[in-house]
Chains A and B, each alone.
Chain A
Amino acid sequence: MTVPPEAEASRKRIHQIAARAKKRVDAVLADPDVSRPDFAKNFYHTYKRLSELAQAIDEGPLFALSRFRAEDRFLTHVVGEACREFHYPDEPPICAAMSSQYYCAMMEMNLILVPHGEATHLLGWADLYHELAHFLVSRNESTILKPLMDLVEGHFAKAIDEATRLGWSPDAIKELRLFRSLWLGDWIVEFACDLLATFATRLSFAWCNLRLCARMSTDVFGTVRSHPADAARTRAILEMLALVSDGKDQEFVEDRWMELVSTIGAVEPQSFEIAYPRLLLRDLAKQAKQSFETLGLKSYTSKEDHLGDLLHEAWKHFQSHPESYADWERTKIGELRAKFGLEA
């Protein structure tokens, strides 16, 4: 398969993964014990993982690379630039504008998918950092995720002990256990990724989050299994912003957030502080910042990061001159395409 230069590293990588899988298939077929009944289940497990891998390659990178268009080439450059600026330590993923699920990351395939129109819009690009964070978190669980999980475990162990001592009702204690379980499942990963995106882009991700909440949230205090409440995520983002930015930034975003909450008439439920204690969110932000620095990641610094500056400027321009924003954005994207050596 021939691919554009931007996708060549990805093609090679996928080829290597497929070659390793083929080697494993050959080894299983040649294994003298493959037909023994007492090994059947284990070889069945091996078969399942290999067949999942084949399907994931077919549906992800193979599909993306077989139709890699100008928009995908451009966005792959954008992701590469973002990675370079915040010192992302691994090979940057490729990015394809073919998602029907907003931004998402296919971890094992090193692939980011974004909606079709994102190649011509700057305001959502801070979400690319959230998706990049998914790869980083997954590859650095012991440095990023583990210390955060320890904080969550510690907090809820103490809270459950305290609740038991104070004679809380069994239902209330059950709820605490449920929150702990949700935190240790998908929530902690989402928080870690939000914290990293804020660390890497500062205000741009905070605005991006606010826009997403305004556009898509049905209940900002509502909780689902896969994602924590939008209000809690916003709080965590504000905590990180307080650590990497000046107080004015945090205040500015917080004011707009309060405005949104008041406009939609959302009311914080009683259990919100129990589910998402402010102190825990603060500790998580501090710990996350320390882990990111340990990994050598760089927080956005104005005038040093071209893409970071562009996203920053985009939000500033959008808020101060909305009437001229579309033209401004078109010009800036054209300049960026030219910088990457792509046709405008």
Chain B
Amino acid sequence: MSDISALSHEYQTSAKLAEELNEAILILKKARLHRRSGLNQEQRHRLANTLGAVRSRLANEGKAPGEVVPQEVVERLVGKHGSKMAYFLEDLTAATESLSGQPGPINDAVITLLDELCDVADQTASSMFRRLRRR
């Protein structure tokens, strides 16, 4: 009933998203550095679903596939990309296709995109956590 329950919910959703993206980026960076296999098929599929859900929310496509994307993450991305949103949506589509396609190395552009999304989810989680403490 109080704001705390709603904030606690949004904190949890955004922290979960930030963790999912961060773990995936760590695996990808380690795979490159140590020349070993990166994300497995299931992890790639899950990540592609997440990117697809973000894309769908940003494009206001009505029924969005996959998981629930925190609204504040969506708003931060809209604020960041503003009038250049069409390019960002293209990047998201390309990254989703790359992750859904045949297993193989993931290119720099995808990692940069994941990094950006992870930053935004992390900022959202931190902001929610702080608001929960009213500081």
Q: Do A and B bind each other?
A: yes
Q: In the complex, which residues of chain A have a beta carbon less than 8 angstroms from the beta carbon of B30?
A: 33
B interface, how many residues as a size bin? 35 or more
Q: In the complex, which residues of chain B have a beta carbon less than 8 angstroms from the beta carbon of A99?
A: 2
Instruction: Please give the distance in Å from A17's CB to the nearest CB on chain B.
Output: 13
User: Interface of chain B, helix or strand or loop or mixed?
Assistant: helix
Contact between A42 and B22 (Cβ–Cβ < 8 Å)? yes
Alpha-carbon gap, A101 to B2, bound state (A): 6
Instruction: Please give the distance in Å from B17's CB to the nearest CB on chain A.
Output: 11
Alpha-carbon gap, A288 to B25, bound state (A): 36
- B9 contact from A59, A142, A181, A189, Cβ within 8 A: A189
Instruction: Please give the distance in Å from B123's CB to the nearest CB on chain A.
Output: 10
Alpha-carbon gap, A46 to B27, bound state (A): 13
Instruction: Please give the distance in Å from B26's CB to the nearest CB on chain A.
Output: 5
Q: Given A138-B13, A154-B63, check contact A102 B22 (CB 8 Å).
A: no
Contact between B2 and A45 (Cβ–Cβ < 8 Å)? no
Alpha-carbon gap, A104 to B4, bound state (A): 6
Q: Given A105-B8, A107-B8, check contact A150 B1 (CB 8 Å).
A: no
Contact between B6 and A227 (Cβ–Cβ < 8 Å)? yes
User: Interface of chain A, helix or strand or loop or mixed?
Assistant: helix
Residue B18 at the chain A interface, CB threshold 8 Å: yes
Within 8 A of B (CB), among A212-233: 212, 226-227
Residue B19 at the chain A interface, CB threshold 8 Å: yes
Contact between B62 and A153 (Cβ–Cβ < 8 Å)? yes
A interface with B by C-beta (< 8 Å): 33, 36, 38-39, 41-42, 45-46, 48-49, 52, 56, 59, 99, 101-108, 127, 130-131, 134, 137-138, 141-142, 145-146, 149-150, 153-154, 157, 180-181, 184-186, 189-190, 193, 212, 226-227
B interface with A by C-beta (< 8 Å): 1-13, 15, 18-19, 22, 25-26, 29-30, 33, 57, 60-64, 67-68, 70-72, 74-75, 115, 118-119, 122, 125-126, 129, 133
Top 10 A-B pairs, shortest CB-CB distance: A185-B71, A104-B4, A101-B2, A186-B6, A107-B8, A105-B5, A104-B2, A141-B68, A150-B63, A45-B22
